[in-house]
Amino acid sequence: MAGIRQALRELWSASDDARMIQQDGRWYTWADVRTLTESIDRALAECGAVEGSRIGVVLGNRIESIAALMALLGNGRTVVTLNPMQPVARVATDVATTRPDVVLAPDELWQSEQFASAVEELGIDGFALDGGVAPRAKRKSGDEVPQPNRSADPVAIEMFTSGTTGAPKRVPLTWRQIDAAMSAVHGHVGRSGDPRLPLTGRVALVTLAIVHIGGMWAVLQALTEARPFVLLPRFTIDGWAGAIEEHKPRIASLPPAAMRSVLNADVPGERIGSLRAVTAGTTFVSPELADEFIGRYGIPVLIVYGATEFSGAVAGWTKPMHGQWWERKRGSVGRPFPGVRLRVVDESGVAVARGVTGCLEVCSGQTGSGIDEWVRTSDLAHIDEDEFLFIDGRADDAIIRGGFKVQPEVVANALREHDAVLDATVYGRDDERLGQVPIAVVEFVDGADRVEETELKAFVRGQLAPYEVPVTIHAVDALPRSVSLKIDRRRLLELVAELESSTA
């Protein structure tokens, strides 16, 4: 497969009337998207933003963001991602902190004095993207766009992590990493060169927010494969199932929280009958949830494992692998992708035996440290004799309670076993006597009666060691989630603080 830049150039051979992106029931043709892409490219070129320039883009799931990505990546500029789901104050702070050379944002944001002032104070160019390109900020007279630093390993995208355990951090993804990740995925699924015309063939689905690596990856894969796609502004059951019903794709992504929603909504099997598999990642996927989905719909759940730092996934399941191994390896996140090496080490960095839990390390062209260097992850894992990877928890999430280690996911899984509990999350709170203690927050199944805290504690005592039982279990209407549908830890703590203040 061609690299992303070459693949984008090849789109220019598509027919003008080829359907490219469907959003809110409307198809945008290649001519529609190309015209907007070329307008963005001209505007950037006229203000001196050349190859290597850093362009801040407020990335929502809309046509303008896709055109912006094409204008930037197709011409070697660096995408500095800005998250539209954050409050305006945070977006403005992010602009001030990242200091891009130019900013592209919806006009709605430019109407905010806080956002516009942040751009003005930087003295940079800014444009509104709403069906066209309109100037909203002008570089100070006499100033020029700084010439980019030429690097041997230039950055394509400055991507946010999900920020599930604290403030999000920005990860630079190089062209080398992205192309290596694309090659690994195509090698994993066995995809070869495709002779079809650009923007023909089966329609793909972009389910997640594109400001998250999962959504960004779905867009890049569709563009690289020159495939038309449905762009969901946000995940909804009707939007997801309706797109499958209309376009009949063979594979679609479904994060665990969305999978649970589909099951709870009892979506009829005939609506999603075209699917031969669903892929699931972004966060922990319990084998019980996967088995429930498989049992209901007869559709294999292909779990993948990756991280923003790796430009996406580095391990996963295939459909043939699932048919052969799932019953024996359920709970695994699959095997490493082609070109990816995995190992498990102890705290000293010494490799451990097969089946022994330790810190997971990755060696691949997808990492930012070079193809021959091992990169330590924050995940605890073990690899079995058949090369299947099992994630056992996160090294940095472990709660040390009076010298005993508590894995939050173990406690959360115990709570999820209760019939009334839809989902749960657990975190550590500082304690003067014990160091830390586990605190749990649960969301109940829609329509189920709320269960008292004492009953939930009694329930999990049958599954957990005494030190693993949460000291407090809060109940909320809905667990707060990030753009990747992971639990948003910062918002969760704010919600818990409100609950505790109201009962004080």
List, as one string, the DSSP characters of 273-334. TT-SEEEE-SS---HHHHHHHHHHH---EEEEEEEGGGTEEEEE--HHHHHHHHHHHTT---
Q: Characterize the bridge pairing of strands 251-253 and 277-280.
A: parallel
Read off the pLDDT of residues 217-268 as tens digits, 9 standing for 90 and up: 999 999 999 999 999 998 899 999 999 999 999 999 998 878 988 999 999 9
Least confident of 190-194, 359-363, 458-462: 190-194
Residue 420: pLDDT over 90? yes
pLDDT category of residue 163 using cuts at 50, 70 and 90 = very low
pLDDT category of residue 9 using cuts at 50, 70 and 90 = very high
Residue with tokens 């850093």: 54
Read off the pLDDT of residues 183-229 as tens digits, 9 standing for 90 and up: 877 766 656 556 688 999 899 999 888 988 889 999 999 999 999 99
Start-end of CATH 3.40.50.980 domains in the chain: 4-175
What average pLDDT does this structure show over 5-15? 93
Least confident of 159-173, 187-201, 211-225, 478-492: 159-173
pLDDT category of residue 109 using cuts at 50, 70 and 90 = very high
Q: Give CA–CA dist 233/22, Å, rounded.
A: 11
4-175, what's its fold?
Answer: Rossmann fold (3.40.50)
Start-end of CATH 3.30.300.30 domains in the chain: 399-503
Domain 235-246+256-394 has CATH 3.90.550.40: no
Pull the structure tokens for residue 244. 């499958």
Q: Give CA–CA dist 96/123, Å, rounded.
A: 11
pLDDT on residue 444: 94
Q: Count how many residues are written for the chain.
A: 504
List, as one string, the DSSP characters of 441-497. EEEEPTTPPPPPHHHHHHHHHTTS-GGGS-SEEEEESS--B-TTSSB-HHHHHHHHH
Residues in a beta bridge with 280: 303
Start-end of CATH 3.40.50.12780 domains in the chain: 235-246+256-394
Spell 104-130 as b/e; 16+ CB within 10 A means b.
bbbeebbeeeebbebbeebebbbbbbe
Nearest partner of 99 among 72, 117, 80, 115, judged by Cα? 80
Nearest partner of 64 among 111, 134, 130, judged by Cα? 130
Residues in a beta bridge with 442: 424, 475
pLDDT category of residue 166 using cuts at 50, 70 and 90 = very low
Domain 399-503 has CATH 3.30.300.30: yes
